[in-house]
């Protein structure tokens, strides 16, 4: 009987973590288990925390994939520009850089610039040359500002200091501070 219950529990966890089923009641109906049993499993194993970690990891993998694509794309763009630059240098060395050749290289450069912009836009990258680290730093700063604003509001409207502390700790657990940022207590000290 215990093995059967473990399988049901594992299947319930899988249904919840994959977002295949939206509610505890629906999981219970599918598996033929009482809803309060599913709710107890969910609470005791912290399925919400597991789902958050899974979603966070998926987001991190997407960012890593995009960063890898950016590096490959930038390497290709560098090679294209290297070809154009070497052609210009070769022409200058031969001292035969005539007006037609300059116009041709100018057209090639314009085509390369448009291609680069199109590729960057298609991949959701910035056109202004902003690096991944700069984008992450700005996002972390915005998140920190939002967290600080929220905690200021909690301080103003929640009189119970223990409740304020639990809210702050819960918020920091779910939205950790950027690495290297000293964690402040709820009084901002």
Residue 34 has pLDDT above 90, yes or no: yes
CA angle 49–53–58, rounded 5-degree value? 150
Q: Which residue has the higher pLDDT, 179 or 137?
A: 137
Q: Tens of pLDDT along 92-120?
A: 666 666 677 777 777 877 887 877 777 77
- For residue 137, which phi and psi values (nearest 5 degrees)? -65, -40
CA 14 – CA 24 distance, rounded (Å): 12
Number of neighbours of residue 41 by Cβ within 10 angstroms: 20
Q: Tens of pLDDT along 41-53?
A: 999 998 888 888 8
pTM: 0.40
Residue 16 CB contacts under 8 Å (≥ 6 apart), including other chains:
24, 27, 42, 47, 51
């Amino acid at each position: 009987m215990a093995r059967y219950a473990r399988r049901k529990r594992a299947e319930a966890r899988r249904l919840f973590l994959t977002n295949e089923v939206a509610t505890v009641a629906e999981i219970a109906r599918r598996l033929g288990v009482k809803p309060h049993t599913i709710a107890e499993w969910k609470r005791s194993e912290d399925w919400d925390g597991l789902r958050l970690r899974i979603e966070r990891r998926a987001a991190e993998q997407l960012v890593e994939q995009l960063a890898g694509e950016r590096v490959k794309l930038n390497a290709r763009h560098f090679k294209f520009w290297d070809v154009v630059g070497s052609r210009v240098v070769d022409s200058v060395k031969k001292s035969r850089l005539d007006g037609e050749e300059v116009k041709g290289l100018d057209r090639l450069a314009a085509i390369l610039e448009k291609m680069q912009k199109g590729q960057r836009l298609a991949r959701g990258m910035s056109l202004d040359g902003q690096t991944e680290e700069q984008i992450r730093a700005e996002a972390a700063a915005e998140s920190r500002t939002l967290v600080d604003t929220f905690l200021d509001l909690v301080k103003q409207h929640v009189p119970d200091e223990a409740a304020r502390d639990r809210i702050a700790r819960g918020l920091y657990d779910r939205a950790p501070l950027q690495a290297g940022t000293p964690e402040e207590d709820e009084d901002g000290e």
